[in-house]
Amino acid sequence: MPSLPVTPPDAMEPAARAQLLDAVRFDHAGLVACIAQQHDTGEVLMMAWMNRAALAETLATGRVTYWSRSRGALWRKGESSGQVQKLVDLRLDCDGDALLALVDQTGVACHTGRRSCFFRALREGELAEITAPEVAPEALYGR
């Protein structure tokens, strides 16, 4: 099945952005789950939360922005690590309560220094780390 042409976020009309924002069913805390997936490989990178402001900024700028529950503030992916996510496409699920962001990830997506946050799985009856860090977290965050 051919895919539909994608309108880059920076070229998206304000009315189109508003239509998408209004279609999202944010939870009781004003949040929606967003899965980030590498657009060209299909690799699932991470899951984070967006509020309306984070989603609006993402759509307006093309740089993926989340809501940090721990900081209580917008989190522009890569602002401290340089590991930026550029939005390629954004999809809303059938219920309107989850987003799939197809992104172009610079470097690693996980704060542990791994490409993906999904690096643990059951192996031989135990929870095991199935990928090693590509970069030390200290190198990303200067700690």
In a domain, 141, yes or no: no
In a domain, 42, yes or no: yes
Strands 65-68 and 98-105: unpaired
The pLDDT assigned to 140 comes to 82
Q: What is the pLDDT of residues 119-133, one digit of tens each?
A: 999 999 999 999 999
Give me the CATH number covering residue 96. 3.10.20.810
Mean pLDDT value across residues 2-7: 50
Mean pLDDT value across residues 63-87: 93
Residue range(s) defining the domain that contains residue 31: 9-109
In a domain, 136, yes or no: no
Asked whether 35 and 102 are in contact (CB, 8 A), the reply is no
Output the CA angle 92-64-43, nearest 5 degrees. 70
In a domain, 137, yes or no: no
Q: Residue 105, exposed/middle/buried by CB under 10 A (0-12, 13-18, 19+)?
A: buried
Residue 72: CB atoms within 10 Å: 7
Q: Which residues pair with 68 in a beta bridge?
A: 73
Quick check: 37 pLDDT over 70? Answer: yes
The encoded tokens of residue 64 equal: 């993926």
Give the pTM.
Answer: 0.88
Q: Which of 99, 27, 102, 18 is nearest to 60 (CA)?
A: 18
Higher pLDDT, 140 or 47: 47
Q: Give the chain's domain count.
A: 1
In a domain, 53, yes or no: yes
The pLDDT assigned to 2 comes to 44
Q: Which of 89, 98, 113 is nearest to 7 (CA)?
A: 89
**DSSP conformation class of 131:** S
Asked whether 9 and 62 are in contact (CB, 8 A), the reply is yes
